[in-house]
Structure 1
Amino acid sequence: MVSFLEFEKPVAELEAKIADLRGAAGEDGDIDISNELQRLELKSAKLLESTYSNLSPWQKTQVARHPGRPHFRDYVAHGFDNFIPLGGDRLYGDDQAIMGGLATLNGRKVVLIGHEKGHDTESRINHNFGMGKPEGYRKAIRLMELADRFALPVVTLVDTSGAFPGIEAEERGQAEAIARSTEACLSLGVPMVAAIVGEGGSGGAVALASAERVLMFEHAVYSVISPEGCASILWRTAEKAPQAAEAMKLTAQNLLELGVIDRIVPEPMGGAQRNPQAAIASLVSTIDDELEGLEGFSSAELRRQRDERFLRIGQSLR
C-alpha cells in the first residue's frame, strides 16, 4: 500500500473511491462499473501527473524522505548481482548506517557503498536512520582503497539526513572521518559514480558523493543542511522550513543548473515510492551508462576531471 503525503490528499481520496468501487463490483458481479472505474482511474492519473509536475522544493523534500522509497538493500536485491557485503573499519566496529561490498552491475564488477535508513522501526534503529558514524565513513574509505587496489569502479548511493551528531561520534573523530572519506573519493584512481537517491544532507552526504559523475533522482534533495535546520537558524523556528527549502535551491533541477550534479534520473510518476523496481531499473541503467562513458580514462585524468568539476561549481554565479 502507498503511504500518501499531505499534499497528495486529493489523489488519496480518488484512489480510495476507486478501491471502494472495485470492492463493490466484487460483491455484486451484476453491476457493470467498468466505465465509471475507467473514468476515475484516468482522473486520478491526471491529478497525480499535475501534482508531481508542480512540486515545490518543500514537497520534493517530503517525497525524498518518503519511507516507501527504495533503500540500499533494495538496490542490492533488485539492481545489482553477486553482492558480497564487507563490514568493519578495522579500527573500531561495523556501522550499519553505511553498508558496502563487492557487486556486479550488468556484468561489470564494482565496489558498492551506500547509506541504509531501514524500512520499519526496528531496522531504522539498527541502521541509525542512515546517519553514519566515524566507523561507517572509515569503512567506506577502506572499501574505496580496496577498489583502487583491484581497479574496480566505485558506485555510491547517498540517502542520509546527515552524519550522526552524537557525542560518541564526535569523540571518535566524526569530522576527521568525513574529511578523510571526501579526500578518498577525490583521490581515487578508478571511475566513481555517486547517486543521490533520496535525501543528501550535509557533509555526511558529500563524504560519499565527491565523484566525477554525480547523479540525482528527479525528486531527491541535496543540501548543506535540512530545511528545518536552516529555518531554525535564520528564523528561530522550524515552521519556516518551506521558505527555507525554496531559498536553499536543493532540488535536482536547481542543482543541475548550478553545476552541482551532472544528470537527473527520472522517477516513475508519483515518485520512486510508487514503483520502486522501476525506479531502481532507471537508476541502475543510468549508472551503467555513466561507468561505460568513463572507461579508458587514466587515473590522472579521472582525478583531473573530479578536481575540475568541483572547482567549477559556483563560477557561473560570480
Structure 2
Amino acid sequence: MKSYLDFEKPIAELDTRVAELRATAEDSGDLDIESEIAKLAAKSEAMLAATYARLTPWQKTQVARHPLRPHFTDYVNLVFTDFVPLGGDRVYGEDAAILGGFARLNGQRVMLIGHEKGNDTASRIKHNFGMAKPEGYRKAIRLMEMASKFGVPVVTLVDTAGAFPGVEAEERGQAEAIARSTEACLGLKVPMVAVIVGEGGSGGAVAIAAANKVLMLEHSIYSVISPEGASSILWRTPEKAADAATAMKVTAQDLLELKVIDGIVAEPLGGAHRDAARTAAALGAAIERELKALAKVKPDALLRQREDRFLAIGSL
C-alpha cells in the first residue's frame, strides 16, 4: 500500500485514476482501456521523476521521515545474514532504540549497530521512535569495544531525530553517554562505516557515526538539530522549518559538497519506501565496497584517518 506525502498529491491523483480504470477493466471484460491506463501510468511515472529531481531540502526531510521508509530491522532482513542480537549496557538496562549484534555481509562478519524507529504504533513506542537513552549509547560502546577486541569491522545504520531529551535520560547521564560513544567510535582500531539511512539528528546520530567512512542514502538528512528546532530558536516559531532546512544544508548532496560525508547511495525513484529491496541491495553493495577498501588500512592509520577527517570538517 502506497502512502503519499503532501507534495506528491498530483501523483496520488493520477495513481488513483489508474487504479480505478484497472478495476473498471477487470469488471467489464469487453472494455478495452489498456491504452488509456498505460498513458496515465506513464504520465504518473514522468511526474514522479520530475518531482524527485527537484526536491527541496524540506521535501527531502519529509521523505527521510516517511512512515514506510525501511528501518534497521528491514535492512537486517534484506542485507545481512546470521544476525545475533546482543542487548543491555551492563549498567542500567536494555534500550530498544538502538539495536546491535554480530552479523554477516556476504559472508564477512561485522558488528552491526543502528537506530530502530519501529513501523507501527506499538513498535514505535517500544523503540521510543529511535530516540536512544544513555543505556542505548552505553550498549553501543560495549558492542564497539567487543568488535575491536575480536578484530571485527563495525557498521552503523543511523536513523534518529536525536537522543531522547527526557528528564530520566539526563538523570542517567545522557550527554556523557553520547560523548563516550563518540569517543569509542574515534578510538576503534577496526574499520568503521556509518550510513545515514533516514534522519541523522544531532549528537544522537554522531554518537554512532564518527566513522572512517560516512555515507548517506540519497534522500536522507543529517544535521546538528532538526529543522523545526532550528526554526524555533532562530525565528521563535516552528513554521519556518522549510527555511531552516535550506539554510542548514541538511541534504546528502549539500553535505557531500561540504565534505562532511564521503558518498551517496542512490535510492529508487520516489524514495527508499517505494522499493526497499532495491534500496537494501544498493546499501549492502556500498558498505561492502567501503569495508574492502578499509581492510587494507592498518589499525594506527585507521585511527589517524578518522581523526583527520573530523578535524578537517569546517576548516578553510
- Please indicate the TM-score interval, normalised by the length of the shorter structure: over 0.9
Distance 1:271 1:297 in 2: 34
Q: What does 1:197-208 correspond to in 2, within 5 Å?
A: 197-208=197-208
Partner residue, 2:212 = 212
Instruction: Report what 1:196 is aligned to.
Output: 196
Pairs within 5 Å for 1:15-34? 15-34=15-34
Equivalents in 2 of 1:23, 1:195: separation in Å?
Answer: 41
Q: Which residue of 2 aligns with 1:230?
A: 230
Letter in 1 for 2:52: Y
Provide the C-alpha distance between the structure 2 equivalents of 1:145 and 1:296, rounded to a whole number of angstroms. Answer: 21
What is the 5 A alignment of 1:156-305? 156-305=156-305
> Is structure 2 residue 105 aligned with structure 1 residue 74?
no
Q: What amino acid sits opposite 2:4 in the alignment?
A: F
**How many percent identity over aligned positions?**
66
Question: Structure 1 residue 32: deviation in Å?
Answer: 1.1
1:221-257 CA-to-partner distances (Å, cap 9, x unmatched) read: 0000000000000101000000111100000000000
Letter in 1 for 2:307: D
Residue 313 of structure 1: how far off its partner (Å): 1.1
Secondary structure of the 1:113 match is: strand
Structure 1 runs of 4+ aligned residues shifted over 4 Å read none
**Residue type of the partner of 1:164?**
F
CA RMSD of aligned residues (A): 0.5
Runs (5+) with no aligned partner, structure 1:
none
Matched to 1:128, the amino acid is N
The alpha carbon displacement at 1:2 in A equals 1.2
Kindly provide the amino acid, as one letter, of the partner of residue 103 in structure 1.
A
Equivalent residue number for residue 117 of structure 1: 117
CA distance in 2, matches of 1:16, 1:276: 22
Structure 2 CA distance for aligned equivalents of residues 307 and 20 of structure 1: 57
> How far apart, in 1, do the equivalents of 2:202 and 2:87 lie?
24
CA distance in 2, matches of 1:6, 1:255: 25
Structure-1 separation of matches of 2:263 and 2:296: 21
Q: Is there any run of 5+ residues in structure 2 with no aligned partner, and where?
A: none
Amino acid corresponding to residue 183 of structure 2 in structure 1: E
SS in 1 for 2:274: coil
Partners of 2:204 and 2:293 lie apart in 1 by 27
Instruction: Return the TM-score normalized by structure 1.
Output: 0.99
CA shift, 1:207, in A, is 0.2
Shift of 1:42: 0.6
Q: CA shift at 1:296, angstroms?
A: 2.1
Distance in 1 between residues matched to 2:142 and 2:116, nearest whole Å:
18
Look up the equivalent residue of 1:80 and give its one-letter code: F
> Scaled by the length of structure 2, what TM-score is found?
0.99
**Code of the aligned partner of 1:96:** A
What is the SS of the residue equivalent to 2:273? coil
Number of residues of Structure 1 aligned to a counterpart in Structure 2: 316
Separation (CA, whole Å) in 1 of partners of 2:134 and 2:166: 11
* Alpha-carbon separation, structure 2, partners of 1:59 and 1:113: 28
Q: CA deviation at 1:33?
A: 1.3
Q: Write the letter of the residue equivalent to 2:182.
A: T
How big is the shift at 1:298? 1.1
- Displacement after TM superposition at 1:188 (Å): 0.2
Residue 148 of structure 2 is matched in structure 1 by 148
Deviation at 1:193, TM superposition (A): 0.2
Q: Which range moved further: 273-282 or 201-210?
A: 273-282
